[in-house]
Each structure stands twice: as C-alpha cells, then as structure tokens.
Chain A
C-alpha cells in the first residue's frame, strides 16, 4: 500500500500557483481522447505527488525534457535512455519502474538478451556498448565518474548528449528513490522474469513507446 494517499481533488486547492501546477501535471498525462476534468490517465506516482502540485510540476517538466531528448538527434537515444532504467533496476534491486520500462526498453530496441543478462549478472553477454553505458550509469549514481570515462561518453554522444545523459541518470535515481519512499508497488523478480518470457514467446506484445513521449 502506498504510504502517501492519493491526491486531493482540484477543488481542495485554492492558491493560483497550486491550481496552475495541478492543471499542468494533469494535462501532461491526459490522452487526446480523454475528457477535460477526467484525471484517470494520471499515473499513480503523480497521483501521489499531486498532494503538492507545486512540487509535482517540476518533476513533470523534467520528465518531459528527458523523454523527448531522443527525438532531437543531438543527444542520447531512446534506447540509451531505456537502458538506464534496466541498469538502475538491478543496481537498486528494485522493480518499481519495470512495469512500464521493460516493455518500453524492448520497444526502443534494447535487446531482450541484454535485459536478461544484466538481471542475471552475466555482463559478459552484453555488447561492448551496453557494458560501457552500464558502467557509466553505475558511476554516476555512486559518485565515481572520472575524466576518462566522461570523455568516452562525450565521444559517443557529444558534449550535450553526455551532459543530458548524466542528468537523466541522476534524475532517474531521484524518481526511483521517490517510488520507494512513497511505498509504490515493487513487483517481484519472478513477475519480471515471467514478462520477459512472454515477450520472448510472443504472448505479450511490445507497446508503442511513443505514447509516453510527451
């Protein structure tokens, strides 16, 4: 059970700043086909954050920025981004974001074998590029990046890409720690293994990750 109750209704807020932030956050998630005022598209994490619309809004803005970087062509790719979710899920021993990000990882081109390998600790089965990024991701969240590694990442995705990728990694660390602090559901490893098997045998379909790029 989440430790934070779901958000109060919009009418419970009175300050213009809160109301503006509230509307912004809800609009970020509303699908074009959903009626105004219907908040059912807001994901559980943001429903909790809406206890403080003002604090929720910058998290939503950050999310929009880091998710769309892959569309620009001068930064990290969507696949690079989804790989971070896979690496940190293992590093933090937490599946809190996997419900969305196992499917999205596959949808953006992360190899199913790479997800299985990193989850099983079989790093030899990763490609050089997957291993490089995994190493960098772990260095960022443990505060151990060095000049040589940063230069390697910069050579791979450019100066802007390296800075943005670093920001995204640190931002995902923040998100995952918030999921955990708020007590959001953390599926067991067996469930993730089952999904992976279903993707492998075709009984579970890879979604359109673009639904979440906004």
Chain B
C-alpha cells in the first residue's frame, strides 16, 4: 500500500466553525455507517472535512450516484464496471478496495473485471464493451453522436444523461483521491483481494452494503 505524507488526519469537530458542524457531522455519520472510520474511504472523507460544506455536497452527490438502479436508471453492474475501468485507466487502485467486492456483489462478471484489469478486452461481452468504451469517451472528451445515441437506445434519454454525469463524477473522485494522497493499494494487493473473493476466503458484501 502506498501512503502519502500530504494526507493529514482530519480536523477535529472542535476546530470547525459552528455554522459548518452540521455538514461535518453528516460526512462523519455516513462515512462511519457505510465504510467504517478505519477504512481507506474514511481517509478521503477525512480530507474533505477540511471543507465541510463542500464535503457534505460531495457525499450527497456520491450517495445519489449509487442509486441509479434504485431509480430505474443505469444498473449497479454498469456503475461498478465503470469503477474498474477508471481505476485501471487512471492508474489508481484506492477505489478498488471497495469496488472489486462491490462489483462482484452486484453481478459484474469476474471475467470482465479480470479482462479490464489485465487488458484482455476481447473477452468482454458487447454490452460490457459499450459501457467501457463510452466511459473512456467521457473521460477523454471524445463522445460521438453515434456512441451517445447508442447509450440513449440502451438507457433512455434520462438514463444516458445520468450515466454520463456518473462517469464524470467518478473521474472527479479518482483525481481527488490521487491529489489528496489517499492510500493506493498495489496491483498485487488488489489481485489477492480478488482471488480471496472468488475462492470464498473473503466474503462478498451485500449488494446494498454501500447504498444509502
């Protein structure tokens, strides 16, 4: 695990202005409930506590992004596959600590996770490849009329818009984790986690574990 000196412990509640304590408390509450205060995720949300109102908006934004399936938009499997793609393409494993387990939990094929991480994308199904390719187009600013129309065909107008926003949100999030110095597990650590989830030595979480 790569650790970075720039990620300092979060400010204490007493250091926060009265007007911002409500926002501070909401960030801490959700982090504790959904991820646990000792998790890698808690390190990220701890950094956001330097700016409680912005951190609060980001936390609520992230919660909404996880509710796509619940609201009849993109599926949890679509969403989790994007996490695998962006982590791989952007060279950062910090989010995989949660999203490899979550991807398996919501039905992403293990072969698809492996194919993206090991660059064997000919092993993806056509549906998976559409998600992978479109996500990359959003990240690189290269969405075309055709790829957008195909996504609308698949998810509907509203679903396509929400999926596009989600990809942008995840791009922002990964770059924030990297910039703020949230710990970055090695590829070997993620491989070991993946093997453990597949052979049953590590429990796959509930699909709803981090929604809410």
| B54, B64, B161, B165: the one within 8 Å of A167 (CB) | B54
Contact of B175 among A3, A59, A141, A183 (CB under 8 A): A141
**What are the interface flags for B137-173 relative to A under an 8 Å C-beta threshold, 1 for contact and 0 otherwise?**
1110111010011000000011011101101110111
Nearest Cβ in chain A — how far from B31, in angstroms? 16
- Is A209 in contact with chain B by the CB < 8 A criterion? no
**Main SS class of interface, B:** helix
Q: How large is the interface on B (under 10, 10 to 19, 20 to 34, 35 or more residues)?
A: 35 or more
Q: Are A170 and B176 in contact (CB under 8 A)?
A: yes
Chain B minimum-CB-distance residue to A186:
B141
Are A54 and B179 within 8 A (Cβ)? Answer: no
* Any B CB within 8 A of the CB of A147: yes
Residue in A5, A141, A144, A167 whose CB lies within 8 Å of B58? A167
Given contacts A4-B157, A163-B47, contact A61 B165 (CB under 8 A): no
Distance A180 CA – B58 CA, assembled complex (angstroms): 22
Q: How large is the interface on A (under 10, 10 to 19, 20 to 34, 35 or more residues)?
A: 35 or more
- Residues of chain A lying within 8 A (CB to CB) of residue B149: 3
A84 to chain B, nearest CB (A): 13
Known: A5-B157, A170-B176, A173-B175. A160 touches B181 (CB 8 A): no
A-B pairs, top 8 by smallest CB distance, nearest first, are A58-B61, A174-B168, A150-B6, A180-B141, A181-B143, A174-B172, A143-B178, A145-B179
Interface residues of A (CB under 8 A from B): 3-5, 48-49, 51-52, 54-55, 58-59, 61-62, 65-66, 75, 92, 94, 139-141, 143-145, 147, 150-151, 154, 159-160, 163-164, 166-167, 169-171, 173-178, 180-183
Q: A169-B179, A174-B171 are in contact. List 11 more A-B contacts (CB 8 A).
A: A3-B145, A4-B161, A48-B161, A52-B158, A58-B64, A143-B174, A145-B6, A170-B175, A177-B168, A181-B143, A181-B168
